[in-house]
Structures are given as structure tokens and as C-alpha cells.
Homo-oligomer: A and B are copies of this chain.
Amino acid sequence: MELAFGDSVLTVEEARPEAFDQLDLAIFSAGGDTSRELAPLAAARGCVVVDNSSAFRMDRTTPLVVPEINPKALEDHNKIIANPNCSTAVALMALAPLHERFGLRRFFCSTYQAVSGVGASGPIELEEQVKAWSEGEMPQPNAFPHPIAFNLLPHVDAFRDDGYTKEELKMRNESRKILDLPDLKVSCTCVRVPVFRAHSISINAEFGSQPNVPDAHAALEGFEGIELRDDPTQNNYPMPIEYSGVQPCGVGRVRVDHALDNGLALWVVGDQLWKGAALNAIQIAELLLKKDLV
């Protein structure tokens, strides 16, 4: 099978275990089942795997890495490196520099997640529903359990018995691992919104020391991969249409939190297909090569 990629045409081959014999590094993005089956086989044949699925993220021997945040975790890899959940990666891009400066204790967050988070079927469904709506119709939902056009679903990923979704738990568990804060308290509510691309997250974060907005701005501005967009009286704040198809995540609405003693409220937006997935995987791969860890 051949696939157009940019100006070239690539030949797609079946991912048989022997295929990894000749590879130094592979990026997996075919879901948890495929990763669980093939990544250990690839690793056994000497190929380092950067895995975009959730299969190995919480495995103790697998580093879970955002290169701007915990690059050192790469040094201990066992040939599989996990790429974090999309919302978690975007949220931590804002929280990591604030943690460095003020010491993160806990955070509350509510997400505003784009339809492309479920794959290609999400944007197609939103587009179809919007077009049908323009003609006075509403088609049956398919990619989502309910219509998403002009609607919100407090439902991302599968529900667990305790009422949380898996996505909400990923925010807690992966944040703890990436920030190396095993007792970090995280409360997350994940919501699907009728936006094509880029996830947005409203965060209330509590710190060990008293934060202030100027120092928070300085910490964010000095952090690679972050753009500070915080001049609200000029209507300047990050929005998903401006953070789609761009590398940095945007942070704004930074203010002293009204309900936490040492808290900040903030708003972060990032392209979940890029920083929340593909870009981060490529950055991991580049760092592995640069550090001679392949």
C-alpha cells in the first residue's frame, strides 16, 4: 500500500516483528492493543519504541516523557518510552514551570476537548452535524454517544465504577508520574466541546509557596514550548482556533485564585494532535537521538 506524505509517496508495509530488526527507532500510534502486542517484540529486536498509546504509560519500567518537563526520565529507558495523554500533556505544559517556581500541591481542572480527540471520525461527525443542522436536520450520532454540534458532552473515554472517566484518571496518574509527585492531588472533569482541534483546560492550582502573577508570568514566559497570552483587557488570551496546527501551547487568564490560599487560576490551550500526541512523540525521538540513547 502507498500513502502520500508531503511531496513524497511512502510504501506502507505490514508491521511484522522481523520488520523491526532493521530499525533503530519506531513511533507507534495504532492503539493500545497493537502496542501491547508489538512494542515488546520490537524492543526485543533492539528497536526503541516511542509509544503514543496508553498501554505502557503507567508501567514502572517505562518512562512517560514530555521533553520540556522531564527529559532526564529518558535516560533510564528499557527500549519503550510512553507518550502522555493529550489533555495531560497540555495541562502540564502550563503547570510544570509553575511547579518549578512555586511547588505544586494539587490542582482542579475542567477540560474543553476538541472532537479530533477521538480520531478522524470526530471532525467528520461535527462537520456533518453542522451541515445537516444548516438544512434543518440532525443526523444520528455515531462517533459520539450524543450529538456534538452546538452541544457539550461531559464524557471523554469510558466511565469507571466510581463515576470518573478513564481520561479523568489519566490526568491524575500521568501528572503524578511526569512531575514525579506521587501524592499529587488532582481532580479532573473532562468535557467534549464542538471545537475541531486543540484542547483547552481551566485550572485551579495550589502551591507550596505563595504565588503571584508577575512571577508566574516570568516562569511561563521562560519555559520552552509555552506562549504567554495574558493581556485580557486587550482581549488577548489563548483560544483553540489560534492554537490549532501550531507547536506551542498558549497560557492566559493567570490570576490569584480566590478559593485557595496559595493558588493560581489559569487557562491553557494546546493542539492535542501535536503537543498532545505527534509533536511530543517526535520531540522524544529527537531527544533520544541527540542524547545518544537509541
Contact = CB atoms under 8 A, between A and B. Distances in A.
Interface string A116-155: 0000000000100011011000000000011100111111
Interface in A42-71: none
A107 interface: yes
A259 B108 contact: yes
A165 to B, nearest CB: 8
A260 interface: yes
A146 B189 contact: no
B187 A259 contact: yes
Contacts of A241: 146-147, 150-151
Given A146-B239, A189-B267, A258-B186, A152 B112 contact: yes
A163 B255 contact: yes
Given A187-B260, A239-B146, A259-B107, A200 B162 contact: no
A108 B186 CA distance: 13
A253 B151 contact: no
A289 interface: no
Interface residue tally on A, bucketed by range = 35 or more
Contacts of A187: 204, 257-260, 263, 265
A182 to B, nearest CB: 14
Contacts of A195: 150-152, 194
A213 B163 contact: yes
Nearest to A188: B258
A260 B253 CA distance: 23
Q: Copy number of this protein in the oligomer? A: 2
A106 interface: yes
A189 to B, nearest CB: 4
Interface in A194-219: 194-196, 200, 202, 204, 213
A8 interface: no
Contacts of A194: 150, 193-195
Interface in A172-188: 172, 185-188
Contacts of A252: 154
A232 interface: yes
A110 interface: yes
Contacts of A269: 152
A191 B145 contact: no
A159 B233 contact: yes
B191 A112 contact: yes
A237 interface: yes
Given A126-B150, A155-B235, A187-B257, 8 more contacts: A146-B241, A154-B237, A154-B267, A162-B255, A163-B230, A165-B232, A187-B265, A194-B195
The 7 closest A-B pairs by CB, nearest first: A163-B255, A187-B259, A110-B110, A110-B202, A185-B259, A145-B235, A159-B232
